[in-house]
């Protein structure tokens, strides 16, 4: 698609050839740094990047979407984008195998970002596995606004908790949960959330991670009448609103439920408006069904 097509949807986004400046293994993940233009100045916590993978002769024709971990501009004017990548499929495995100095074709920044309050609020950030990556920059932004920031990081095992020390430095309190009990509290993030909401008078929850986790958080947030912004994990094959593979049933302002493109109207959404369904079927009540 020509740049003019997706630029109307993401006016600050650019398609560029980007050099890999760093690729380091951090626990179960790869921390990668990419040289970009001044587009880095437009990236916000919650935005994502779509990267062409596999090389020019690859059969992997679809881009892969990755949440932006951090963005910055160096003193010399060089823009930087940082990603945390889990080598879980063919595309992400190819990306993590690339060396410093190699280049990739990427489009960024894409998608919606987390909403930042205009006044200090008591916030709770919840991340699952490498899904916690965009929450660290968000924590810094919220703290700069005078917000209290508590964080919960959860994963199946200790090795899949990303950067727990960084998390501890970034927030007022950090709680870790693991399914196997190898770090922190044994159990899931949903086991500790009610106590934290009560103890800290939480006013808003931000989350990023597996869909089942986001659904569980939404139920808890609704029961406490707490706002919940979540970055949903749907497969975004194009990242620019064309392929329709990432649609979710979402309640609209007019009261209808419509299949909504995650890459354009998300990935950050109001959790209370998502019609959560594990069956992956279109639920009853969706407009046009």
Q: What is the DSSP string of 40-86?
A: GGG--TT-EEEE--S-TT-S--S-EEEEEEEEEE-TTS-EEEEEEE-
pLDDT digit string, tens, across residues 80-134: 999 999 998 899 999 999 999 999 999 999 999 999 999 999 999 999 988 888 9
Q: Which residue has the higher pLDDT, 258 or 177?
A: 177
Q: What is the pLDDT of residue 130?
A: 82
Domains for the chain: give ranges and CATH numbers: 3-110 (2.40.30.10), 122-273 (3.40.50.80)
Beta strands 257-261 and 64-73 are unpaired
pLDDT digit string, tens, across residues 215-270: 999 999 999 999 999 999 887 877 777 778 888 899 888 888 988 888 888 999 99
Q: Cβ(206)–Cβ(124) under 8 Å? A: yes
Give the up-direction half-sphere exposure of residue 210: CA atoms within 13 A in the CB hemisphere: 13
Q: What is the pLDDT of residue 3?
A: 42
pLDDT at 5 over 70: no
Q: What is the pLDDT of residue 8?
A: 54
3-state secondary structure of 9: coil
- According to DSSP, residue 256 is labeled -
pLDDT at 20 over 90: yes
């Amino acid at each position: 698609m020509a740049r003019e097509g997706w630029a109307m949807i993401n006016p600050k986004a650019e398609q560029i050839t980007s050099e890999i400046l760093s690729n380091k293994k951090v626990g179960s993940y790869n921390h990668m740094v990419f040289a970009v233009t001044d587009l880095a100045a437009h990236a916000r916590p919650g935005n994502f990047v779509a990267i062409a993978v596999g090389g020019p002769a690859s059969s992997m024709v679809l881009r892969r979407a990755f949440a932006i971990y951090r963005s910055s501009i160096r003193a010399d004017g060089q823009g930087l984008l940082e990603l945390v990548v889990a080598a879980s499929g063919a595309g992400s495995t190819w990306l993590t195998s690339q060396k410093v100095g190699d280049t990739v074709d990427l489009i960024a920044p894409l998608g919606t970002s987390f909403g930042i309050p205009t006044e200090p609020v008591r916030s709770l950030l919840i991340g699952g596995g490498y899904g916690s990556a965009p929450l660290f920059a968000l924590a810094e932004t919220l703290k700069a606004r005078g917000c209290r920031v508590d964080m919960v990081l959860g994963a199946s095992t200790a090795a899949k908790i990303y950067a727990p020390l960084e998390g501890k430095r970034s927030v007022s309190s950090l709680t870790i949960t693991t399914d196997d009990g190898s770090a922190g509290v044994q159990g899931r993030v949903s086991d500790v959330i009610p106590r934290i909401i009560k103890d800290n008078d939480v006013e808003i929850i931000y989350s990023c991670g597996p869909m089942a986790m986001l659904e569980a958080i939404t139920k808890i947030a609704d029961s406490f009448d707490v706002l919940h912004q979540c970055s949903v994990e749907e497969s975004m094959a194009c990242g620019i609103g064309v392929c329709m593979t990432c649609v979710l049933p979402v309640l609209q302002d007019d009261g209808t439920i419509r299949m909504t493109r995650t890459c354009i109207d998300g990935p950050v959404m109001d959790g209370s408006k998502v019609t959560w369904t594990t069956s992956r079927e279109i639920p009853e009540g969706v407009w046009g069904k």
